[in-house]
């Protein structure tokens, strides 16, 4: 409110500006900060019970790639257990609707459940193997993607 009193904006302009900021802030928030641990546990448990042959994954753009790689419009995926990481990469590319240039390569990182470090898993790894090793305490597997221009 103090900002409203000291700014040159009208109340309507101030509200529009702050609403715009909040919308973009919520878009950039990660899944684990948008939802509480209890909400995430409930959701992953519900998913794993309803779809026992699928793995709930959160696939998000890496924080360091905000300017280089387009974001996805959805981040929660149910991935078949036998699917390989290479197929997940193709799904992510497809979901970008051609916004990733062909000369840009895509890198996938799996977040380790015990910290903030990420691991590059072999592209031939199945999601069931990744789930067994890297499933977080909330029941989700977190995968980050980043891109790099490979030809110049």
Which CATH number does 35-149 carry?
Answer: 3.10.20.90
Most confident of 15-19, 30-34, 79-83, 117-121: 79-83
Tell me: the pLDDT tens digits for 53-74?
Answer: 999 999 999 888 877 888 898 9
What confidence score (pLDDT) does residue 120 get? 92
- What are the residue boundaries of the structural domains of the chain, listed by start? 35-149
Tell me: the pLDDT tens digits for 109-149?
Answer: 999 998 778 899 999 999 999 999 999 999 999 999 998 77
What confidence score (pLDDT) does residue 65 get? 81
Handedness of CA 88, 33, 38, 136 (dihedral sign): positive
Q: Encode burial over 23-50: b for 16+ CB neighbours within 10 A, e otherwise.
A: eeeeeeeebbeeeeeeebeebbeebbee
Round to whole Å and give the CA distance between 54 and 85: 14
Structure tokens at 35: 């939802």
User: Following DSSP, what letter does each residue of 58-105 receive, concatenated?
Assistant: EEEE-GGGTTTSPPPS--EEEEETT-BHHHHHHHHHHHTTT-S-TTEE
């Amino acid at each position: 409110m103090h900002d409203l009193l000291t700014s040159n904006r009208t109340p309507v302009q101030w509200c529009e500006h702050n609403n715009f900021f909040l919308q973009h802030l919520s878009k950039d928030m990660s899944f684990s900060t948008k939802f509480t641990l209890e909400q995430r546990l409930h959701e992953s448990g519900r998913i794993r019970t309803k779809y026992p042959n699928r793995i709930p994954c959160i696939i998000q753009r890496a924080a360091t790639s905000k300017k280089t790689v387009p974001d996805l419009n959805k981040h929660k995926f149910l991935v078949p257990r036998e699917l390989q990481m290479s197929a997940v990469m193709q799904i992510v590319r497809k979901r970008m609707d051609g916004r990733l240039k062909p000369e840009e390569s895509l890198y996938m990182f799996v977040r380790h459940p015990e910290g903030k470090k990420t691991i590059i898993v072999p592209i031939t790894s199945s999601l069931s193997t990744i789930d067994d090793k890297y499933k977080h305490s909330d029941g989700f597997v977190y995968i980050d993607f980043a891109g790099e221009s490979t030809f110049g």
